[in-house]
Amino acid sequence: MNKVNESVPWEFILLGFSDRPWLELPLFVIFLVSYILTIFGNVAIIIVAHLDTKLHTPMYFFLTNLSVLDLCYTTSTVPQMLVNICSTWKGISYGGCVVQLFIALALGSTECILLAIMSFDRFVAICRPLHYSVIMHQGLCIQLAAASWISGFSNSALQSTLTLEMPLCGHKEVDHFFCEVPALLKLSCADTTVNEAELFFISVIFLLIPLTLILISYGFITRAILRIQSVEGRRKAFGTCGSHLIVVLLFYGTATYMYLQLPSPASKDRGKAVSLFYGIITPMLNRLIYTLRNKDVKGAFKRLVLKVFLTKNIRNLAA
């Protein structure tokens, strides 16, 4: 036990793309802009969904959960990445790495389950519209959301513990932008075959199984939509479900590539680029997709802005 403890470094060095310094400025701009848009977009959706009573539905309840997830996920990784890019010291303390590993893995796992739940909500809304309010009642929505959070954090506790128990033998240079399971396993001086097999198995449960259920749900949804006689009705249904499906493909596509690919020297830089996409770019795109393609959200934004504007004018007149 003491031997393992001695192998634990006080800090890790996050290499990122430090071997290509000419990338640092453009990466800093991309990370900063994406983070700002993610923060404002997610906070705006949370506020609007809370204040507008027309959005007090299961769909927007789950969307609010997704916004909280993306907000916390990016905050757990991006600020440290921005600091490291701007400084010559590109390190993170051991404790900071542990916290980052646990939170990012927990929230990513939770999102895998939550996106599947959101597809089930759309399936019931379109394929069982007359029973929607009975099936998707408030109690069930809370239970489903709680199940996604509990399963995500439970998986993170297991994965993080198994990863951090591996002896590092003084190795501390993480070939990544943030602390992630695959990158930390590469530092171990012991055989990681069991850990990699366990990671692959868990990834199948949290990635492939939910993705399969989502695609099956959308098969039934597409069939139901094509039966709608009204062209406007079909367009609205496709628009609502299309936003969710785009988010699903972006998230699961990049995460599946990262966690289920076969390791190879050529995949190292591609893996870092892909993890940046699903960790930074996808949360930003989620908000743009759900706002720009969703008439309900855009209408809620307009009503909220109009309400604030009118309230301000009334106060000015009263003064």
Burial string for 38-72 (b: 16+ CB within 10 Å, else e) reads bbebbebbbebbeebeebebbbbbbbbbbbbbbbb
Domain that holds residue 184: 2-318
> What's the pLDDT score for residue 8?
61
> What's the pLDDT score for residue 313?
63
| pTM (2 d.p.) | 0.84
CATH number at residue 214: 1.20.1070.10
Contact criterion met (CB below 8 Å) for 114 and 65: yes
> What's the pLDDT score for residue 23?
79
> What's the pLDDT score for residue 144?
96
* 18: its two tokens: 């430090």
- Per-residue confidence in pLDDT tens, the chain, 319 aa: 444 444 566 788 888 777 777 878 888 898 899 899 889 888 888 888 888 888 889 988 998 999 999 899 999 888 888 888 888 788 888 888 999 999 999 999 999 999 999 999 989 988 898 999 999 999 999 999 999 999 999 999 999 999 988 888 767 888 888 888 888 888 888 888 888 888 888 988 998 899 999 999 988 988 888 887 777 777 777 776 777 777 788 888 877 777 776 555 555 566 677 777 777 877 877 777 766 566 677 677 677 777 766 766 666 666 6
For the chain, what is the domain count? Answer: 1
CA atoms within 13 A on the CB side of 171: 16
> What's the pLDDT score for residue 22?
81
C-alpha distance from residue 312 to each of 261, 308, 315, 319 (Å): 55, 6, 5, 11
> What's the pLDDT score for residue 172?
80
